[in-house]
Amino acid sequence: MDQTTIITLAKDAMTVTLLVASPMLLIGMVVGIVIAVFQSVTQIQEMTLTFVPKIVAIMLGMLFFASWMLTKLTDYTTDLITRIPDLIR
């Protein structure tokens, strides 16, 4: 296994990680911005107001994107396992 292979494996792992995490991160960011604007407009500065809507939105996003995320992770894992014989050499 040479340096190019290791770098490729690391790049692929980071790409899959970013792809799988991005829907939840984007949902959390959008909900956070909406809540921050709402808090600014209404001048309600309650800290707990931000957590519950974010958690609910992220859980709904996980339900919506779960099959896609599982497919991406399964494809990556299958590809990695099938490349093991080539990696050992």
The residue ranges of every structural domain in the chain are 3-88
Alpha helices in the chain (DSSP H): 3-42, 48-82, 84-88
- Residues 15-24 have pLDDT tens digits of 999 999 999 9
pTM above 0.85, yes or no: no
Is the separation of the CB atoms in 87 and 5 below 8 Å? Answer: yes
- Residues 25-69 have pLDDT tens digits of 999 999 999 999 998 898 888 877 888 999 999 999 999 999 999
Band (pLDDT 50/70/90 cuts) for residue 75 is very high
Q: What pLDDT, on a 0 to 100 scale, did the predictor assign at position 89?
A: 72
